[in-house]
Amino acid sequence: MEDPGSDLSQLDKLTEESILEAVKNRYQEDKIYTNVGDILIAVNPFKELQIYDKKNHEKYGWKDFRTDLPPHVFHVAARAYGRMRQKQSNQIILVCGESGAGKTESAKYMVQHFMQMCPEDSGDLHDRIIRVNPLLESFGNAKTVMNDNSSRFAKFLELSFRNDGQVTGASIRDYMLEKCRVVGRNEDCGEGNFHIFYGMFAGLSQQEKQDLFLLKPESYGILKGSIERLKMTKHYENQYKENMETLKKIGMTEADKKVMHCMLAAILHLSQIEFRETEYTSGQLDIADTELVDQAATLLEVSSEALGVALISSTTIMAGEEIIVYKSLDQAKDGRDALAKHMYERLFGWIVKKINTNLHPHKSRSQTKVAEIGILDIAGFENLQTNSFEQMCINMVNERLQYFMNNVVLIQERKIYESEEIPFENVDFKDNMNIIQMFEISKIGIWPSLDEESKFQQGTDSKFVERLKKNFPKGHAYSPLLTFARGDRIGFGVKHFAGAVWYNCEKFLEKNRDTLNKDIEDVMKSSKDDCIADLFSVRKGDTGTISNTQYNIRASRKVPGLGVSIRAKTDQGGLQGMDLGRTLKEK
């Protein structure tokens, strides 16, 4: 059953051209997998292939592991599982590649194969482990110009096993959620928002949407980035139903789901809030439509007045006195967007925390755990039409991964040959350590420079770029890796290992600071819903999210009749007709 040409390391001549030609020829024969020693190359077929059925699960088993079988993602999983069983040691599988390469699907297929190889059927546990991937895709994936289901976050899935190979639980660490996507407003640019928003409109009943004050989806600017997403109602309706069933399986109560829907709807209402300048000598702004503030506040169970005031002003302490400072138009918009972004990030982290509690409760951790298999699924190198802070973070992670691959596959292997005095033909490869050092070198590197500029209240994006120009003048060892724009453009280019990328530095400092105005944060902490108050009170963990926080998040007390109570509250009055200027003066 040997597959000729399936291992590129066996090619007579190993060049970029010969590798591309071999992979292309196999792809045209629907052979999407190719080996390079222990590394598997997978090419996205963009169609269904009948190679993941029960027959293939059985063929790629771990007990009678065969090296002569055709390359397959199941083969990678079987090898890791076999090593874990035989050596009782931890295994890690790294899944990386460009956006749209099929990383998320490959990770899902491997999880399915791990469950198939377990000696006994754990029934519901197996099902729940498999189901959480599509759930996280709904909240963490979106359509981009390169990929209809692009992962906008990274995750590390850990599967725990007993000494007999039976899975005992799973946990997920989430990283780098692209939360700025939630406030994107470029109409029909080909970039969609997170899938869950479209799913909510397709899956909720008309009454449920009314209870959340929702209008037609096309009314919301943050959903217009991909008009076609708004039309895929059947697809999203089915996805939404699956998500609700999975949430139930991982232990989410009806009250939890209410909190989730209220927060998602509140984000939509917040995104519609507009501010306008006034003739007040104080410079105070007006909120164009205060009903939107009322609706968001009611859903979040916070004071409409307090939320409205916090959106257009902030307080500071000077000489022991509390001083009110009015926000500029740009500051008010940034504050509104920051609230929406932080709310979505904390909602996402809460869902991951719920998943971990359900799939790997404390009682499971106390059982005999022999080893773990980890799967790192991370966004690939990106070079979009507009690249910002998020793309730079993603691309630097990929620089690190590239260096790791170079080190493991080439440098370490070469050292072994040299130590054993085995003759070998030296392989030239692109060492990217200079790019990594340019970003990380103490004091003058791109990251230290960005952090330093972010410390100053008067720091700006243009000053950050000017700082880089001074740190890397012509003649500097790293200056050939950087390109700076002429004129008014605020940005710079980096010659990454995968190609040159231009970064637009607008809002770099804001994104790096990643802060939420204290007044707005205090309003959220004052929510009468215990769950929402806690979501904004708990500290983030070492992954930058609340998913692995050690703090307890209290359950919500929302009830199925939420819609009725919401409307009763808004009928009692909110910001409509209230003079925020007078309110601020009274403060």
Phi, psi of 326 (to 5 degrees): -80, 140
Residue 142 bridge partners (DSSP) = 150, 194
User: Which residue out of 380, 445, 491, 574 is catalytically annotated?
Assistant: 380
Nearest to 72 by CA among 155, 7, 126: 7
Beta-strand relationship, 141-142 and 91-95: unpaired
103 marked as part of a ligand binding site: yes
Yes or no: say if 75 and 61 are a contact pair by the CB < 8 Å rule.
no
Task: Give catalytic status of residue 150 as yes or no.
Answer: yes
CB 374 within 8 A of CB 93: yes
Catalytic residue (choose from 141, 151, 243, 313): 151
Q: Is 104 a catalytic residue?
A: yes
Q: Mark whether 147 is an active-site residue.
A: yes
Catalytic residue among 34, 99, 144, 226: 99
Q: Which H or E element spans position 491?
A: strand 491-496
Q: Is 99 annotated as a binding residue?
A: yes
Cβ contact 546:534 at 8 Å: no
Residue 21 marked as a ligand binder: no
User: Which segments within 91-239 are labelled E, that is strand?
Assistant: 91-95, 141-142, 150-151, 154-161, 167-175
- Contact of 138 with 195, CB cutoff 8 Å: yes
The active-site residue out of 44, 61, 90, 100 is 100
Give the H/E segment covering residue 325: strand 321-326
Sign of the C-alpha dihedral computed for residues 293, 295, 298 and 300 taken in this order: negative
User: Catalytic annotation on 106?
Assistant: no
For residue 7, give both structure tokens.
């291992």
Q: Report which of 211, 199, 116 is spatially closest to residue 159, judged by C-alpha positions.
A: 116
Residue 441 burial by Cβ neighbours in a 10 Å radius (0-12, 13-18, 19+): middle
Identified catalytic residue from 34, 35, 56, 104: 104
Residues 6+ apart with CB under 8 A from 540: 349, 546, 549
**Is residue 34 within a helix (H) or strand (E), and if so which, with residue range?**
strand 33-36
Query: Kind of pairing, strands 371-377 and 91-95?
Result: parallel
Type and span of the H or E element at 358: helix 329-359
**Which residue in 335, 252, 231 sits closest to 558, CA to CA?**
252
Q: Which of 158, 178, 382, 390 is catalytic?
A: 382
Cα distance between residue 387 and residue 502, in whole Å: 7
Query: Burial letters for 557-574: b for 16+ Cβ neighbours within 10 Å, e otherwise?
Result: ebeeebbeebeebbeeeb
Lookup result for tokens 């400092």: 509
- Tell whether 390 is in a known binding site: no
d(CA 282, CA 268): 30
Cβ contact 199:240 at 8 Å: yes
* Residue 99: active-site member: yes
Cα–Cα distance measured from residue 373 to residue 382, given in angstroms and rounded to the nearest whole number: 28
Catalytic residue among 106, 147, 160, 527: 147
Task: Please give the Cα distance from 299 to 528 (Å, whole number).
Answer: 11
Task: Kindly name the residue from 35, 138, 144, 150 that is annotated as catalytic.
Answer: 150
Task: Identify whether 171 is a catalytic site residue.
Answer: no
Q: Is 498 annotated as a binding residue?
A: no
Q: Look at residue 64 and give its three-state secondary structure.
A: coil
- H helices within 441-526, ranges in order? 446-455, 461-471, 508-513, 518-525
Enter the tokens of residue 513: 């600071």
Is 338 marked as binding a ligand?
A: no
Give catalytic residue positions: 99-100, 104, 147, 150-151, 380, 382
Binding residues: 97-104
Binding residues for ATP: 97-104
